A and B are shown apart, each in its own frame.
Chain A
Amino acid sequence: MRSLMLFKLMIDLFFYGSIMSVLVTLGFGISTDSFNIGGQRFDDLNPTIITFMIFTLLRPITFFIAVYHIKQLASSFIKGEIFSDPTSRNLKMIGYGFILYSVVESIGEYLNSIVNNIGDTIMSGNFMGFNSAWFQFTLGLLFVFMDRIFQNAKALEQENELTI
């Protein structure tokens, strides 16, 4: 129970800390007289830069979806609702969040290479480390799959209760 509380504390700290850091970054970006993405300034706006901006904004949003559902899942576990509908729904949403994040990040990286003329970076062989899109996509699929396991366990639990 203590480790669960620690886990919940960490996820809460990370969730609110990330939101604050994104808001501060966006605040700095908006306050400057030209458009600013991650410290990079753009004076003229063309469709590629606008798409790049959209994907840069989508990246933290998809990440927050996943982190928010991990937070919800931790709350369910603390309440003792282990094999329940909200738990499996949260697992599925974490999975979709990770999948979306990996797709958005890959497209964002590709657009970044076009905007900054740094050559083609899509699938550039970044496999080592948890930042690789491949790992994030696989992890996402695993969480979606885990939703089924939890539904299975829920059915088992109900059967058990009925027998008793």
Chain B
Amino acid sequence: MKSTNLLNVLINVFYYIILNAGLVITGMLIYAGIFDDRVGISVGRSSFGIVDREFASALSPKDYGKVIIAICIVILFIKTIYHLRKATLKMIKGEMFDQVVSENLKWTGISMILYKVSSLIGNLYSEVLYQNQFTVGFDFGGFESFIFILILGLFFILLSNVIKNGITLKSENDLTI
């Protein structure tokens, strides 16, 4: 029971922190994109960093592409945590075999995969347009590696199917009773 409460607190705090951080980052990016007044905000050119401490130079058309990709990444990450939170809260309430849990787990997996695909596109975009290079290869670097997040995303989709299986079992059981 203690671990359930801890999970409840952690997922809620994490969700609201990233929601606020995401809103601030997206707001700054939109501000940089719309006003482009060379004050304080710029798009990192060498890395995929989005906010620079140095005074900004004017945004070029390719910078706008990077700003849009960065906004997509932030939105997809928040979407992942949103669905994960919704599924977790429902499970904590005891409604484990529910359509909502299954749907949210499926969307967690899909958002996770989309997040990683867009961050891969962002990195390739930066490499090709800013550094004139193109790297292809497998990345085995732990949690943030493309293939691992893909596996985790597929795993959540698989879990949603398992929960669907559980829903059928439960309804069969209820009918028998």
Q: State whether the Cβ of A50 lies closer than 8 Å to any Cβ in chain B.
A: no
- Residue pair B138, A10 in contact (C-beta under 8 Å): no
What's the nearest-Cβ distance from chain B to residue A129, in Å?
6
Cα separation A79 to B100 with both chains bound (whole Å): 27
B147's partner among A10, A70, A130 (CB-CB below 8 A) is A10
Q: State whether the Cβ of B166 lies closer than 8 Å to any Cβ in chain A.
A: yes
Cα separation A88 to B159 with both chains bound (whole Å): 12
Cα separation A14 to B154 with both chains bound (whole Å): 14
- Residue pair B91, A153 in contact (C-beta under 8 Å): no
Q: Which residues of chain B in 151-169 are interfacial with respect to chain A, using CB atoms and an 8 Å cutoff?
A: 151-152, 154-155, 158-159, 162, 165-166, 169
Q: Which residues of chain B in 62-114 are interfacial with respect to chain A, using CB atoms and an 8 Å cutoff?
A: 74, 77, 81, 84, 88, 91-92, 96-97, 112
Instruction: List, in ascending order, chain A residues with CB within 8 A of B88's CB.
Output: 142, 145
How many CB-defined contacts (below 8 Å) exist between A and B? Answer: 105
Instruction: List, in ascending order, chain B residues with CB within 8 A of A65's CB.
Output: none
Instruction: Tell me how many residues of B have a C-beta within 8 Å of chain A.
Output: 46
- Residue pair B3, A7 in contact (C-beta under 8 Å): no
Closest to A137 in B: B10
* Chain A: number of interface residues, binned into ranges: 35 or more
Q: State whether the Cβ of B14 lies closer than 8 Å to any Cβ in chain A.
A: yes
What's the nearest-Cβ distance from chain A to residue B41, in Å?
17
Cα separation A147 to B47 with both chains bound (whole Å): 40
| Chain A interface (Cβ < 8 Å from any Cβ of B) | 3-4, 6-7, 10-11, 13-14, 17-18, 21, 59-60, 63, 67, 70, 77, 82-83, 101, 127-131, 134-138, 141-142, 144-146, 149, 152-153, 156-157, 159-160, 163
* Residue contacts A-B, CB under 8 angstroms, 9 given: A10-B150, A14-B151, A63-B143, A128-B21, A128-B77, A130-B144, A131-B142, A142-B7, A153-B169
